[in-house]
Amino acid sequence: MKEFEFIRTLLSPLAQSRGAASLKDDVALLDSGLIVTTDTLVEGVHFLSADPLETVGKKLVRVNVSDCIAKGALPHQALFNLVWPSSRSDEELHALVNGLGSDLRAFDIDLIGGDTTSSPGRLVLSVTLLGCPVGDNVPRRGDALEGDDIWITGVIGHGVAGLRAIERNLESDFPQSVLHYRVPQLPSLEIAHLIAQYANASADISDGLVADLGNICDASECGATIRLSDIPLVQNVSSLDLRSVDLLSGGDDYQCLFTAPQNCRGMIEAKTRQTNLTVTRIGRCEASRGLNLLDANGMPIKLLKTGWEHGGNS
C-alpha cells in the first residue's frame, strides 16, 4: 500500500481533531496555537550509509524546519528519537549529535525530550518539531483557491542532482548539489513572514515539485497550470543524465511552494526585492482538476513520474 493511500484509508479516520486536518497536511495545529510536524530519516532511504553522520544530523533538523517555514512559522522546540545500530561506533554517535546540536542552535530550537533505543538493523532517527506561527494565518494544503498565483522559493533540482552525482562519483563536479542533498539549503526564515502574510495554501517541496503541487491541488479540490520555462532549475546536469522533468520529480529540494491571490502579486514581488528573497511565480490555480505542465510554446508535457511516495514511486 502506498503512503498516501495508507494515510487516507487507515490513519485519517483516527484523526478527529480539527487541527489534524484529516492528515491532509504536513503539520497539525494545536489548541495552543503552535504547529507540530515530524519527519523520519531511514538509512538507505533518506540518506546513504556512507554519508557523514554530522550531515545526517543536520539534515534531520532541516527537513522539519522546512515544514515549519512553509506554514508561516518559526521553529521553537523539538523532540528527538533515535534507533541506533549496534554496529556503529561511539565516534559516529558523537558526529551525529554534533550535527544535530549545531543546527538546533543555528535555528534557535530547544531540545525538550525524545527517546533512544538500539537495534541490529539500520539507523533510524526522527524529530518532532513545534513551531510558532508569525501571523494569524497558518496556510494549509487545502486552502488554495481558483485564480491563485503559484510561487516557489529557491532553485529546484539540487537534491536529485546531488544524489546522482554521489552515485556516479562526480561529487567534485557538482559540489553545491551534493551539499544540498546531504544538508538541505533552506530558504531564509524571512520566507515564513511572507507566507504568513500572503499565502492561501503552502507546503514544502520534499517529494518533488510536481508531486507536492499535486497534493495541494488534491487537498484544495482544484487544478493548476505551470510552465516549465518559468521554473528556476539546476543547470548543466546533462552529464548526470537528468532532464528538466526529472528535476521536477526528484524530491529532496526542501523549498517552499505556496499559492496567493493575484491581487497580492505586486506586494509579494516588492517584499522579495526589499528582503533579497528568491521567490518565483510559476503558474496559477484553476477550477478544473488536474495539474498541467506546459513547455515554452504552451504545449502540454506528459509526466511519467510525479515524485517520491513511500511504498512505490508515482
User: Residue 241 is placed in which grid cell?
Assistant: 543524465
Domain edge (last residue) among 105, 133, 161: 133
Domain with residue 85: its CATH number is 3.30.1330.10
In a domain, 83, yes or no: yes
**Same domain membership, residue 167 and residue 280:** yes
Q: For 42-54, b where at least 16 C-beta lie within 10 A, e where not — what string?
A: ebeebbeeebbbb
**Same domain membership, residue 110 and residue 200:** no
Contact 283, 230 (CB under 8 A): yes
User: Residue 7 is placed in which grid cell?
Assistant: 494515510
**Same domain membership, residue 128 and residue 149:** no
* Burial class (CB within 10 angstroms; exposed 0-12, middle 13-18, buried 19+) of 130: buried
Instruction: Assign 21 a pLDDT band (cuts: 50, 70, 90).
Output: low
Phi, psi of 135, rounded to the nearest 5 degrees? -140, -170
**Same domain membership, residue 94 and residue 54:** yes
Phi, psi of 275, rounded to the nearest 5 degrees? -105, 0
pTM (whole model) above 0.95? no
**Same domain membership, residue 107 and residue 53:** yes
Cα dihedral value 163, 67, 245, 282, nearest 10: -140
**Predicted local distance difference test score (pLDDT) of residue 312:** 44
**Predicted local distance difference test score (pLDDT) of residue 16:** 61
Pairing of strands 223-227, 28-29: unpaired
User: Residue 28 is placed in which grid cell?
Assistant: 497539525
Structural domain containing residue 216: 141-294
| In the block, residue with C-alpha cell 480539527 | 18
Distance CA 70, CA 26 (A): 9
- The pLDDT tens digits of the residues spanning 43-69 come to 999 999 999 999 999 999 999 999 999
End-to-end CA gap in the chain: 12
**Same domain membership, residue 210 and residue 108:** no
**Same domain membership, residue 100 and residue 208:** no
Domain with residue 238: its CATH number is 3.90.650.10
Hey, CA dihedral for 277, 268, 160, 52, is it positive or negative?
positive
In a domain, 312, yes or no: no
Distance CA 82, CA 44 (A): 16
Domain edge (last residue) among 133, 152, 179: 133
Average pLDDT over residues 155-165: 97
User: Residue 249 is placed in which grid cell?
Assistant: 520529480
Q: Is the pLDDT of residue 276 over 60?
A: yes
**Same domain membership, residue 169 and residue 269:** yes
In a domain, 146, yes or no: yes
Q: Is the pLDDT of residue 314 over 50?
A: no
- The pLDDT tens digits of the residues spanning 80-137 come to 999 999 999 999 999 999 999 999 999 999 999 999 999 999 999 999 999 999 999 8
In a domain, 113, yes or no: yes
In a domain, 18, yes or no: no
- Number of domains composing the chain: 2
In a domain, 305, yes or no: no
**Predicted local distance difference test score (pLDDT) of residue 60:** 98
**Same domain membership, residue 122 and residue 163:** no
**Predicted local distance difference test score (pLDDT) of residue 305:** 62
In a domain, 215, yes or no: yes
**Predicted local distance difference test score (pLDDT) of residue 172:** 96
- The pLDDT tens digits of the residues spanning 137-154 come to 899 999 999 999 999 999
Q: Is the pLDDT of residue 28 over 90?
A: no
Q: Is the pLDDT of residue 40 over 80?
A: yes
Contact 220, 258 (CB under 8 A): no
Domain edge (last residue) among 75, 106, 133: 133
Q: Is the pLDDT of residue 311 over 90?
A: no
In a domain, 94, yes or no: yes
Instruction: Assign 27 a pLDDT band (cuts: 50, 70, 90).
Output: confident
Average pLDDT over residues 304-310: 55
Contact 229, 188 (CB under 8 A): no
CA angle 80, 83, 89 (to 5 degrees): 110
- The pLDDT tens digits of the residues spanning 208-264 come to 999 999 999 999 999 999 999 999 999 999 999 999 999 999 999 999 999 999 999
- Count CB atoms within 10 A of the CB of residue 120: 7
